[in-house]
């Protein structure tokens, strides 16, 4: 029975660490740019867009599609980087555990 209690304590500790890590990731920001810095995006590791900056020189009324592509690329890059960091950090917390709701 002692091993079950020990396992339960470890699982509870891992769950608490996972919750703390998730809270930290919600606040942790990543930055991505495209077009040589013409578009800059900041997002959280949880995928929430925090800011979007566009260099006025990148705004060409005759070529809106290029600006749209730059924004799209920067946003997707920031979200992908945040997801990568989230997976790495949560993997550290849940390493060695195969419990429901812990991944």
pLDDT tens digits, one per residue of 27-79: 999 999 999 999 999 999 988 999 999 999 999 999 999 999 999 999 999 99
pLDDT band of residue 100 (cuts 50, 70, 90) is low
Q: Please tell me the CATH code under which domain 2-94 is placed.
A: 3.30.1310.10
Q: Is 58 exposed, middle or buried (0-12, 13-18, 19+ CB in 10 A)?
A: middle
CA atoms of 65 and 61, how far apart (whole Å): 9
- Provide the whole-model pTM: 0.75
Query: Any alpha helices (H) in 1-103, and if so which ranges?
Result: 2-27, 64-94
CA atoms of 79 and 66, how far apart (whole Å): 20
pLDDT band of residue 4 (cuts 50, 70, 90) is confident
Q: Residue ranges of the domains in the chain?
A: 2-94
């Amino acid at each position: 029975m002692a091993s079950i209690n020990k396992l339960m304590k470890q699982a509870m500790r891992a769950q608490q660490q996972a919750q703390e890590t998730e809270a930290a990731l919600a606040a942790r920001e990543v930055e991505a740019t495209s077009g040589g810095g013409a578009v800059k995006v900041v997002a959280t590791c949880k995928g929430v867009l925090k800011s979007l900056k566009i260099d006025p020189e990148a705004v060409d009324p005759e070529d809106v599609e290029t600006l749209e592509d730059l924004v799209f690329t920067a946003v997707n890059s920031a979200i992908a980087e945040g997801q990568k960091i989230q997976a790495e950090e949560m993997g550290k917390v849940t390493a060695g555990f195969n419990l429901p709701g812990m991944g």
